[in-house]
């Protein structure tokens, strides 16, 4: 990372940057943004940062709210924060009969509460830059299925959160977008197919880079528009 790049490029924070969609977003934005790569795996984040022109690492456990607040306070954000792309999340499978209260609480703690709290901490910097909040949601944020009720509920809640935040931040110039990918070739998809006891057919799923390109469009959209929601699905095969 050069000082010149850091001073002239808009800064974007990417929680969940070490793999999957978050990693693809980092590569999508690398040419024209300064990236703050966040997650729990410091080694993986450092390796990714070394591949990029202008990037730094923020190791954080987002469910530790005190530590997250301290990490945010330590960020150097001249000119504010141009964007945050919430790509960190977990998949909780199981029926209502099977899942415990702890399963539900862990699911919402990561997929909803951590997203909201990190955004709250970043709002002053986002307002300064008239930045954009992007929540990586899911097709499950529109349609719930059996044995994925907890995951779907968290994604419905995340969609409601983005709708509310969009209205709240309109006077401050902060844009808020919800991106809903269908099946994507990621580690989480492997988890899901294992739970479904189905064959993994990567050729039928979207590439992470495809979703990242949509997120890049959201962040780069002209200032007179907000991309409120994007619904992406794999193209039908044969």
* Catalytic residue numbers, as ranges: 151
Going through the chain in order, the beta strands assigned E by DSSP cover 11-15, 34-39, 55-59, 83-86, 132-136, 175-181, 229-232
How far apart CA 166 and CA 81 sit, in angstroms, is 17
How far apart CA 41 and CA 61 sit, in angstroms, is 10
Strand order in the sheet with 175-181: 55-59, 34-39, 11-15, 83-86, 132-136, 175-181, 229-232
State the chain's maximal CA–CA distance in angstroms: 56
Contact criterion met (CB below 8 Å) for 128 and 79: yes
Q: What stretch of H or E contains 65?
A: helix 65-73
Residue 1: Cβ within 10 Å count: 14
How far apart CA 169 and CA 83 sit, in angstroms, is 14
Which residue's entry shows tokens 């401050």?
A: 172
Contact criterion met (CB below 8 Å) for 202 and 185: yes
């Amino acid at each position: 990372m050069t000082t010149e790049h850091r001073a002239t490029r808009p800064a974007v924070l990417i929680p969940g940057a070490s793999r999957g969609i978050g990693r693809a977003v980092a590569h999508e934005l690398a040419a024209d943004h300064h990236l703050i790569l966040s997650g729990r795996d410091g080694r993986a984040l450092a390796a990714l940062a070394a591949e990029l022109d202008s990037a730094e690492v923020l190791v954080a456990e987002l469910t530790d709210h005190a530590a997250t607040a301290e990490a945010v306070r330590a960020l150097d954000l001249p000119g504010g924060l141009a964007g945050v792309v919430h790509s960190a999340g977990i998949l909780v499978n199981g029926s209502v009969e099977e899942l415990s209260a702890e399963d539900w609480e862990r699911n919402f703690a990561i997929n909803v509460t951590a997203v909201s709290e990190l955004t709250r901490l970043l709002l002053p910097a986002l307002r300064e830059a008239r930045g954009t909040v992007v929540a990586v949601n899911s097709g499950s944020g529109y349609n719930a299925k059996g044995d994925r009720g907890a995951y779907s509920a968290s994604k419905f809640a995340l969609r409601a959160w983005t709708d509310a935040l969009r209205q709240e931040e309109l006077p401050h110039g902060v844009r808020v977008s919800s991106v809903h990918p269908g099946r994507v070739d990621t580690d989480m998809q492997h988890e899901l197919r294992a739970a479904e006891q189905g064959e993994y057919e990567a050729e039928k799923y979207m590439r992470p880079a495809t979703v990242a390109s949509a997120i890049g469009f959201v962040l780069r959209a002209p200032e007179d528009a907000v991309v409120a929601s994007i619904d992406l699905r794999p193209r039908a095969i044969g």
